[in-house]
Structure 1
Amino acid sequence: MCIGVTAGAYILSLFALKYRDRVLGLILVSPLCKGPSWTEWLYNKLLSNLLYYYGICGLVKDCLLKRYFSKEVRGGAEVPESDIVQACKRLLDERQSANVLRFLEAMNGRPDISEGLKRLRCRTLVFVGDESPFHEEALYMISKLDKRYSALVEVQACGSMVTEEQPHAMLIPLEYFLMGYGFYRPVQLSGSPRSPLSPSCISPELLSLESMGLKLKPIKTRISLNV
């Protein structure tokens, strides 16, 4: 069982394609599957040049954080930065610019794996925020996956890092995803002692018997912020 976010999700998908007998299931957050578009390629090149000449400066941090967090979390003139963004900036200060540069170069050189996704037979659960720059890519990926084994959960007002911005929105889908493997069995469907969410917040398709078995029905679920 594997979980990955953005580039990590791409690497895990590539691993699952190469070693299908070693992967039981995939949980992918804002995944990538296509090669970089011209706009992404150029954007990465500009970031690479900034890193080369100026290191991890404030502008580079802001550009990187736009990929992963929604505008509300990043803050602005009237809204302060969230604790998550401040922590990420501190982590970026600890990273060597050469390593970040290598990461961007690897992102620009990634091959397209979308045509091989139909061969995946492991169950796959995809999360993506509707404000993520990789939102369209996640929708494209779910369209390429076998509909019998894949499901999509979209989270409103969220960027790429659903795991950080709205982890509570992942709980119920994950519970029912893992139930198919016998890893977790809630006492009753009306509520879960481990989750602040109620099943009524989730699309009925995800709570169906079919979705809890070995074949997940593709869905489009939106989590309300008022939960």
Structure 2
Amino acid sequence: GTQQTEVRLKKTRPVGQEEYVETPYGDLHCIMTGTPKANRPVILTFHDVGLNHKSCFETLFTHEDMQEIVKHLPVCHVEAPGQQEAAKSLPTSYSYPTVDQLSEALPAVLKNFGLRSVIGLGVGAGAYILARFALNHPDLVDGLVLINVNPNAEGLMDSVANKITDWTQTLPDKLIAHLFGQEEIQNNYDLVATYRHYITATMNQSNVSQFFRSYNNRSTLDVQRPVSGGNINVRTLKCSTLLVVGDNSPAVEAVVDCNSKLNPNKTTLLKMADCGSLPQVDQPAKVTEALKYFIQGLGYSPSRTGIFSHTNTPALRIHQCLERHRTK
């Protein structure tokens, strides 16, 4: 039965185009939903290590509140090489791209689908890759929504600790420790068990460990906060950026640090209360609401006709949305 349903769905939704896009750093598995139109943004997603577009974003994109956004905006999900479900092992001759190279593979994806620019939505490693992409190709990025972004290279102590745990911890254990905080691992057994199962049952372990290694070898993002009266031409993200993190997440410190390095006029930090390490899974309704305000703030708001008209108050809208959540 399920296969028939899937076939039917594919027939009624010919727009869900699945493609391997050739890039200078290998083929990227991409899923494009909706039809790109001139003067409308496209959301481009990039998942975290140990996840793929499904396990990272499906809860968010199938949420009822999200349908209004998806109805108006095309979405392009990008998966790092070898990270899609049931992927075959990458050939031994293939040298896995660095995270910098993965960010440099994205212009080929935009070109392939005829996209002039995108709103990036990334989690963890994917957030880092999209931030680097926006730094090097500011004209291709309208805005960034970065969940659990860490702008820093692995510290020396981290890498020493990692080498020690390398001998003792299995790959799924290491990924779970990357994705979730200690508290969650102890208290939210079902969620963590679900993700452990995804990792062990649907992902190619050897491919995942190569992507993980690339992420752990990342360099520090070369960003500085512009200071009025000082050097305002420092290298920083030019686009509006929404940083999202759950207040119980192990990523809090890194995200707050990232916020301190970005232009305060263009950056909003959304620290979600009572929220675990994967806000888009834990609280998809709140993430969707913030996303709506963010997209409106970029100057696109779905009017009844589905055409985007101009509005321009991202910080204020997101702020109001946050205030509402605080008082609930």
Find the counterpart in structure 2 of residue 183 from structure 1.
Answer: 300
Residue deviations 1:106-127, cap 9 Å, x none? Answer: 1231111143574321110010
Distance 1:39 1:134 in 2: 17
In the alignment, structure 1 residue 174 sits paired with structure 2 residue 291? yes
Equivalent position to 1:154, from 256, 264, 271: 271
From 192, 202, 219, give the equivalent of 1:85: 192
Report the TM-score when normalising by structure 1. Answer: 0.70
2:214 maps to 1:97 = no
Show structure 1 runs of 5+ residues with no match: 52-56, 188-207
Higher strand share: 2
Structure 1 residues 27 and 210, CA gap change in structure 2 (3 angstroms):
closer
One-letter amino acid of the structure 2 residue matched with residue 85 of structure 1:
V
Deviation at residue 140 of structure 1 after TM alignment: 0.8
Match of 1:65 among 176, 181, 189: 176
- Per the alignment, residue 133 of structure 1 pairs with 250
Q: Which amino acid aligns with 1:129?
A: G
Q: Which residue of 1 aligns with 2:70?
A: none
Distance 1:35 1:64, change over 3 A: same
| Equivalent in the alignment of 2:218 | 110
1:75 Cα deviation after fit: 4.4
The residue number in structure 1 matching 2:95 is none
Kindly provide the amino acid, as one letter, of the partner of residue 184 in structure 1: S
**Aligned counterpart in structure 2 of residue 211 of structure 1, from 303, 307, 315:** 315
- Tell me by how many angstroms 1:91 deviates: 1.6
Supply the AA of the counterpart residue of 1:22: L
Inter-partner Cα distance in structure 2 for 1:221 and 1:50: 45
- Look up the equivalent residue of 1:13 and give its one-letter code: A
| Residue in 2 that maps onto 1:17 | 135
Q: Match of 1:131, SS?
A: coil
Q: Distance in 2 between matches of 1:40 and 1:221?
A: 36
Bigger radius of gyration: 2
Shift of 1:162: 1.0
Indicate the SS of the match to 1:67.
helix
After superposition, the C-alpha distances for 1:159-191 in whole angstroms (9 at most, x for unaligned) are: 33111112222133222111123433589xxxx
Q: Per the alignment, do residues 67 and 105 of structure 1 end up closer, same or farther by CA in structure 2, a change over 3 Å counting?
A: closer
Distance 1:50 1:107 in 2: 20
**Are the structure 2 counterparts of residues 72 and 49 from structure 1 closer, same or farther at C-alpha, using a change threshold of 3 Å?**
closer
Query: Looking at both structures, which has the greater relative contact order when contacts are Cα pairs under 8 Å and sequence separation is at least 6?
Result: 1
| Count of residue pairs brought into register by the alignment | 192
Query: Deviation digits for residues 177-211 of structure 1, max 9, x if unmatched?
Result: 11123433589xxxxxxxxxxxxxxxxxxxx9462
- Once the two structures are TM-superposed, the CA of residue 101 in structure 1 deviates from its matched residue by 2.4
Distance in 2 between residues matched to 1:221 and 1:140, nearest whole Å: 23
1:51-104 per-position Cα deviation (integer Å, ceiling 9, x unaligned): 7xxxxx4xx43442233234565345xxx622x333312221133332232233
